[in-house]
Amino acid sequence: MRALAARTETLVASLALGGIMVLPLAEIFSRKVFSTAIPGSGAYAANLTLWLGMLGAAIAARDGKLLTLATGEFLPKGMIASVAHVIAGAFGTCVATLLTVGGIALVKSDRGVGDLIAGEVPVWVADLAIPVGFGLIAFRLVWKASPHWWGRALAALGIVAGLLLNQHRELITDTTLWPWMLLVVVGGVLGAPIFAVLGGFAMFANLVRGSPPIVMPIMAYEELTTSTGIAAIPLFTFAGFLLAEGKSSERLLRVFRAWFGWMPGGTALAAATLCAFFTLFTGGSGVTILVLGGLLLPALMADGYRERFSIGLLTASGSLGLLFPLSLPLMLFGIMSQGAASIEDLFIGGFLPGMLMLGLLGIMGVREGIIASAGRTAFRFKEAMGSLWEARWELLLPVFVVGTFIGGIATLVESAPMAALYTLIIQRFVHRDLPTWKDVLNVMNDCVALVGGVLLILAVAKGLTDYLVYVQVPDHLMAWTQTHVESKLAFLLALNIFLLLVGTVMDIFSAIVVVVPLILPIAAHFGVHPVHLGIIFVANLELGFLHPPLGLNLLLASVRFKKPVLEVTWATLPMLGILAIGVLLITYWEGLTMGLVRWFGH
């Protein structure tokens, strides 16, 4: 029964993903062929994104993939970790329960009003995604809190606490906020999901100021259905997962080795470039390390590269690619900047900084290739052209998508379904790396779990941003900065340090959602262009993946390569140092980012 329910849930989420892909394509076809639009297609796609986000988050909770702070990984194993997991589960369950209650209130409210999405479909049908998603998350956090009945029973008290807090809101209104904030901090440190930390902060703050739980679901609905570019995130991620699942990595590795293998460090450069290509689409660098690590580490060692260097290179390369066009963090920054930095300009501005970071790692590879006398592959024109021909479909994907988007042929929202459909056709019918539709559904399951976790954070963070604006935190930060920071250079240095620390303990998506609204007005005061700020943001957070002791790439590489975290950290330090130089160049050399943007006339 449980397996049937899981398959049904995955199928519904996959259908939502398919709808987000098909509707814009059908709209384009209808406009081109019949010179008419499909009534309500945009509204339907936007509300399907809401369903995808909530069901994807529920699937992530089911599979234990909800994003958390890295601090929980360093708790002592045994009873201490077990108790911490139960407490974190109870806290997350409490927040999810409050959001479920608020979602139910939203459904009742919109059902009474009777508004329609389009056609005859009422708004409350879309609203249902919120209580269904958060309700499933609450029960699954209870189940995942412990393998023992006593642990699950204690975690289930979070449901009771959430219901009681909603029932007796008057006991919270106008009380002191700091005890609730302390509860949120403790929950986060012990390993509660990031959505619960951000959502809990916002929920308790709203309850203290007298707002009912319905406020958070209202903002979540608006964020996931009205923000420009949201639907592009799951579709580009789907394209990346399709590529990662098949043999595209082997075909692309053949290309890069055929063209660069003759150079000193050629295989290292090929490996770094391949990692950047995959991270570009998947967004989460952990996917790159987990998928490509088993292919690239033996390839590097077979050519004579030291194991320590190879592990460090692959760990560092796992976060490359986030500055190139189609990067999910750049899209998210554009969304959170509320139009101050267009996604198109961020794509253009990030290209040269991305090439700089890739080139710096390439220099490390060349150095290692010379020192270790690593093997090289003689350049053979026939092999080089044959490799290009074999991987032609993968290589044309970014050219096709970026060309249609930047060339004005299609918008970002229209380019994303084109990329997803293109990749699906290649992997399912051309290469047949995914020989059955069941294989495609398995890829969709992994995709919606990652996307759901990201969209969930985006949804609840809106409430946190709203509260911070309400209590004038950006204004206070601005006043403090004007008093204590005297120059643009000092501000940028402080920003680098701050973002590096944030990127160490928080995933890149959460960091962008939380920090951008606070920093954007301060950066404007010091004359930092929003596009330049976006590239600085992503470059620093990219570096945070490698910063000890909690950098995400260090933890994932430790698991993938079966090495202690400390050993992976030592292996990665040289790469961290040279990439830090790249981040400083990106920060203080504005022309590196803005030169191409201005050259394109933006």
What integer is the mean pLDDT of 153-162? 94
Instruction: Please tell me the predicted confidence (pLDDT) of residue 233.
Output: 81
Contact 287/240 with Cβ under 8 angstroms?
yes
Question: Which class for 117: exposed (0-12), middle (13-18), buried (19 or more C-beta within 10 A)?
Answer: middle
pLDDT band at 561 (very low <50, low <70, confident <90, very high): confident
Q: Tokens in use for 386?
A: 């044959």
Instruction: Please tell me the predicted confidence (pLDDT) of residue 28.
Output: 81
What integer is the mean pLDDT of 124-135? 94
DSSP symbol at 37: P
- Residue corresponding to tokens 């969304």: 335
Whether residue 94 has pLDDT greater than 60:
yes
**What is the secondary structure of 332-385 as a DSSP string?**
HHHHHTTTSS-HHHHHHHHHHHHHHHHHHHHHHHHHHHHHTT-------HHHHH
Contact 349/535 with Cβ under 8 angstroms?
yes
Whether residue 70 has pLDDT greater than 70:
no
Instruction: Please tell me the predicted confidence (pLDDT) of residue 405.
Output: 67
Q: Tokens in use for 161?
A: 């606490």
What integer is the mean pLDDT of 292-307? 83
Look at residues 514, 237, 263, 522 and name the one whose alpha carbon lies nearest to residue 378: 263
- Predicted TM-score (pTM) of the model is 0.81
Cα separation of 352 and 364, whole Å?
A: 19
Q: Which residue has the higher pLDDT, 43 or 163?
A: 163
Q: Which residue has the higher pLDDT, 542 or 127?
A: 127
Contact 290/561 with Cβ under 8 angstroms?
no
Q: Tokens in use for 82?
A: 């077990």
Whether residue 420 has pLDDT greater than 70:
yes
Residues whose CB falls within 8 Å of the CB of residue 349, separated by 6 or more in sequence, listed in order: 531, 532, 534, 535, 593, 594, 596, 597
pLDDT in tens, 16-47: 998 999 888 888 888 778 778 788 888 888 89
Cα separation of 151 and 144, whole Å?
A: 9
What integer is the mean pLDDT of 339-359? 90
Cα separation of 367 and 47, whole Å?
A: 51
- Dihedral sign for Cα 396, 398, 401, 407, please: negative
pLDDT band at 283 (very low <50, low <70, confident <90, very high): low
* CA–CA distances in Å: residue 115 to residues 44, 118, 212: 14, 9, 22
Q: Which residue has the higher pLDDT, 462 or 578?
A: 578
Strands (E), 32-105: none
Look at residues 573, 470, 413 and name the one whose alpha carbon lies nearest to residue 201: 470
Percentage of the chain modeled with pLDDT above 70: 95
Lowest mean pLDDT among 135-139, 247-251, 501-505: 501-505
Whether residue 486 has pLDDT greater than 70:
yes
Instruction: Please tell me the predicted confidence (pLDDT) of residue 90.
Output: 95
Whether residue 550 has pLDDT greater than 70:
no
State which of 40-54, 88-102, 388-402, 474-488 shows the largest mean pLDDT. Answer: 88-102
Helix (H) or strand (E) holding 448: helix 437-470
Lowest mean pLDDT among 51-60, 313-322, 360-369, 386-395: 313-322
The mean pLDDT of the chain is 85
Whether residue 455 has pLDDT greater than 80:
yes
The beta-carbon contacts of 293-298 under 8 Å, at least 24 apart in sequence, are 293/557, 293/560, 293/561, 294/560, 295/249, 295/250, 295/253, 296/253, 296/271, 297/561
How many helices, marked H, and strands, marked E, lie in the chain?
A: 27, 2
**What 3-state DSSP class applies to 458?**
helix
Look at residues 331, 348, 358 and name the one whose alpha carbon lies nearest to residue 512: 331
Q: Which residue has the higher pLDDT, 335 or 404?
A: 335
Q: Which residue has the higher pLDDT, 233 or 112?
A: 112
Contact 95/196 with Cβ under 8 angstroms?
yes
Instruction: Please tell me the predicted confidence (pLDDT) of residue 100.
Output: 96
pLDDT band at 584 (very low <50, low <70, confident <90, very high): very high
Whether residue 285 has pLDDT greater than 60:
no
Helix (H) or strand (E) holding 298: helix 285-302
pLDDT band at 73 (very low <50, low <70, confident <90, very high): low
Cα separation of 303 and 292, whole Å?
A: 17
pLDDT band at 374 (very low <50, low <70, confident <90, very high): confident
What integer is the mean pLDDT of 346-365? 92
Whether residue 549 has a cis bond before it, omega within 30° of 0: yes
Whether residue 413 has pLDDT greater than 90:
no
Bridge partners of 116, per DSSP, are 122
Largest CA distance in the chain: 77
Cα separation of 73 and 331, whole Å?
A: 29
Whether residue 562 has pLDDT greater than 80:
no
Cα separation of 278 and 241, whole Å?
A: 9
Whether residue 71 has pLDDT greater than 70:
no
What integer is the mean pLDDT of 442-458? 85
- Residue corresponding to tokens 């976006």: 534
Instruction: Please tell me the predicted confidence (pLDDT) of residue 402.
Output: 73
Instruction: Please tell me the predicted confidence (pLDDT) of residue 282.
Output: 67
Instruction: Please tell me the predicted confidence (pLDDT) of residue 74.
Output: 62
Q: Which amino acid is at 481?
A: T
Whether residue 186 has pLDDT greater than 70:
yes
Residues whose CB falls within 8 Å of the CB of residue 218, separated by 6 or more in sequence, listed in order: 106
Instruction: Please tell me the predicted confidence (pLDDT) of residue 72.
Output: 60
Helix (H) or strand (E) holding 572: helix 565-588
pLDDT band at 162 (very low <50, low <70, confident <90, very high): very high
Within a 13 Å sphere around the CA of 585, how many CA atoms are in the beta-carbon half?
A: 14
Helix (H) or strand (E) holding 329: helix 328-336
pLDDT band at 55 (very low <50, low <70, confident <90, very high): very high
What integer is the mean pLDDT of 272-294? 74
pLDDT in tens, 210-269: 889 999 999 888 888 877 677 888 888 888 888 877 788 888 888 888 888 888 888 888
Residues whose CB falls within 8 Å of the CB of residue 426, separated by 6 or more in sequence, listed in order: 242, 393, 394, 397
Q: Which residue has the higher pLDDT, 471 or 177?
A: 177
Q: Where are the domains of the chain?
A: 2-226, 232-436+469-599
